[in-house]
Amino acid sequence: MKDQIEQEQVDAEVRARVQGSFDRQGLMRHLGARLTLIAPGRVTVSLDARPELTQQNGYFHAGATSAIADTAGGYAAFTLFPEDTSVLTVEYKINLLAPAEGDRIEAEGTVLRPGRTLTVCRLEVFAVRDERRKLVAAGQQTLICVEGRPDQ
């Protein structure tokens, strides 16, 4: 299924809706995060290493790691939502598996179960150094589709 999702492309309207919503997120702008993949039910958010994003030992801070994971999952779900809706996180849990260090981190959100109201996503965060990826965080998230309240 993963290969199938990667081969599919979202239509231009969905891509514009997701990118426009992402661009309005002050935290993602503040962190310097960017969308690097928008596919049906799958989104990747990347964040380049900078000293401002680290904790006291020089690793990416768990707050930055968690924030881009939450965002990737939210937008993965949003790619499947109807046009006149918005997305909100209901809950998420993330396990930090290894120190996140490298040139950047990449968070992948993948829809596990789409629903009319609630959608469940898998969250994975990879540290990337010299284009080698290492899984540093994994989690799960539940999102709600808010009807009649377009994301704007």
List, for residues 44-56, the tens digit of each pLDDT value: 999 999 999 999 9
Angle, helix 12-23 to helix 62-78, in steps of 10 degrees: 150
Average pLDDT of the chain, as a whole number: 94
Of the candidates 110, 126, 120, the residue with the CA atom closest to the CA atom of residue 145: 120
Domain chopping of the chain, boundaries = 2-147
Could you read off the pLDDT of 7-61 as tens digits, one per residue?
578 899 999 999 999 999 999 999 999 999 999 999 999 999 999 999 999 999 9
What does the pLDDT look like over 99-135, one tens digit per residue? 999 999 999 999 999 999 999 999 999 999 999 999 9
| pLDDT value of position 2 | 44
The model's pTM is: 0.92
Whether 5 has a pLDDT exceeding 60, the answer reads no
Tokens for 54, please give them: 């680290």
Q: Which CATH architecture has domain 2-147?
A: Roll (3.10)
Reported as type and span, the H/E element at residue 133 is: strand 132-147
Residues 6+ apart with CB under 8 A from 40: 5, 8, 9, 10, 79, 80
In the block, tokens 């596990």 appear at 112
